[in-house]
Amino acid sequence: MNLTPKQIKLFLALVETQSVTAAARACHVTQPTASMQLRAIAEVVGLPLYEISGRQFRLTDAGEALAATLLQVEHAWEGFQQSIAGLRGLERGRLRVAVVSTAKYFVPQFLADFCRAHPQIDVSLEVLNRDGVVSRLRRHQDDLYVMSHPPEDLALATHALMPNKLLLVAPQGHRLSGKGRLKWSELRNEKWIVREAGSGTRWAMEQAFARAGFTPPAPMVLGSNEAIRGAVAGGMGVAVLSEHALPGGPAQHGLVALQAPGFPIPAQWFAVHPTQQALAPIALAFLQHILKLASASRMA
């Protein structure tokens, strides 16, 4: 089974963009040329590689397998290049990191510190909800991933970074804010504001509710921590937010943390990568860097 370097680049662009048009643009070819080359790749494999229904793009099982294989080969080759550069006294290469959206409050600073020490490294940072990061993890699209709830069905190396407590927050002056330890029954009539399906914070919240046998009223769904923070401060309801989404503490954002049962929900940030994917030298150096910074943060 032989694929040309240009075909490999095109197919990986398709995996990245999930669009034939965007993949063609990324590879500087016309869309008809891209479509022809993708059909040629499918003929080599002997099975369809992707399906398009309306505006929905989906890799087939064969496409997912090919993507995972090519990405592992690409990571291995980049690791080899970085090792050779190191032997020659050079430090060049690319670092790919994908993080869940709440981790954007601290990972960019970790990256900035690392880039100052390694200015010749190219960095790619993807910020997505949990489902988006897990999708990239399954396809081996990045070197490292930062999340609180790694999938349990993958063989992963997990490295604990720091706590990620989840708080139940309400607007300052809320009727329950001075009542001390609350009962679940006191929260049944509250209006709830939640993250979108696929968010790690929402996943953890729903797990806590299920353990308590608590079913909140139909919630308002907002797509970012900032939007939820503002909506709660404006008196539109209560919400569950990571302490990292509240820099300076709840009071800095016009909020108060309620003393509800089971809160704060304990969680942990992890840096993860597939166990079968050996870390390239740059990725290993970055992992060691963030573990050191996270340890210093815990000791502070």
pLDDT tier, 5 (very low <50, low <70, confident <90, very high otherwise): confident
Q: CATH second-level architecture of 5-59? A: Orthogonal Bundle (1.10)
* 77-90 tens-digit pLDDT: 777 776 666 655 54
* 209-256 tens-digit pLDDT: 999 898 888 889 998 999 999 999 999 999 999 999 999 999 999 999
CATH superfamily, domain 166-257, is Periplasmic binding protein-like II (3.40.190.10)
Average pLDDT over residues 10-32: 89
- The rounded mean pLDDT for the chain is 88
DSSP string spanning the chain? ----HHHHHHHHHHHHHS-HHHHHHHTT--HHHHHHHHHHHHHHHTS--EEEETTEEEE-HHHHHHHHHHHHHHHHHHHHHHHHHHHTT---EEEEEEEEGGGGGTHHHHHHHHHHH-TTEEEEEEEE-HHHHHHHHHTT-SSEEEESS--TTS-EEEEEEEE--EEEEEETT-TTTTS-S--GGGGTTS-EEEPPTT-HHHHHHHHHHHHHT--PPPPEE-SSHHHHHHHHHTTS-EEEEEGGGSTT-GGGGTEEE---TT-SBP-EEEEEEETTSPPPHHHHHHHHHHHHHHHHHHH-
Structure confidence at residue 102 (pLDDT): 92
Domains 75-161+269-299 and 166-257 share a fold: yes
Domain-wise residue ranges, the chain: 5-59, 75-161+269-299, 166-257
Q: 73-77, 81-85, 275-279 — which is least confidently predicted?
A: 81-85
Share of the chain above pLDDT 90, in %: 45
Per-residue pLDDT at 60 exceeds 60: yes
Q: Which CATH class is domain 75-161+269-299?
A: alpha beta
